[in-house]
Amino acid sequence: MHNLNRMNEYFSRDYIWHQMNGTDSHSNHDSSHIAMLRFLCMAIPDIHYTIINVIAEGDMIAVNSTVSGTAKSELFGLPTAQKKVNFKQMFFFRFINNKIKEEWEVVDVDGMKAQLSKP
């Protein structure tokens, strides 16, 4: 089970999520970020993150990870039919007062779509 009700513990109130599509969401209370996380956890209920590398310098932390699991509901308009997915992602976090102030992400959405579209 994934507990997304603890965002305040990890993200600053004026948190900024820099999405890959160029959209910035502001505040840890922004429903778009929480909705995206809830959607991902519902679509891939056995989601598992494997940390490959973590690099820290100053107030920045970079995390390179792999995500795996079984997609059980529609993702990106593609039927999943219980398909296994495995994709890479990279996040950059800037911390202020021990909380995440900003986040940048690069997620291999195309790789995930390619896996889901295979027969």
Q: Say which residue, 67 or 4, is predicted with more confidence.
A: 67
Tell me the percentage of the chain whose pLDDT exceeds 90: 41
Q: Say which residue, 99 or 119, is predicted with more confidence.
A: 99
- For residue 42, pLDDT over 50 is answered with yes
β-bridge partners, 23: none
| Buried residues in 59-89 as b, exposed as e (16+ CB within 10 A) | eeeebebebebebeeebeebebeebebebeb
Write down all domains in the chain, each with its CATH number in brackets: 7-117 (3.10.450.50)
Distance from chain centroid for Cα 50: 12
For 46-100, the pLDDT digits (tens) are 999 999 999 999 999 999 999 999 988 777 777 777 889 999 999 999 999 999 9
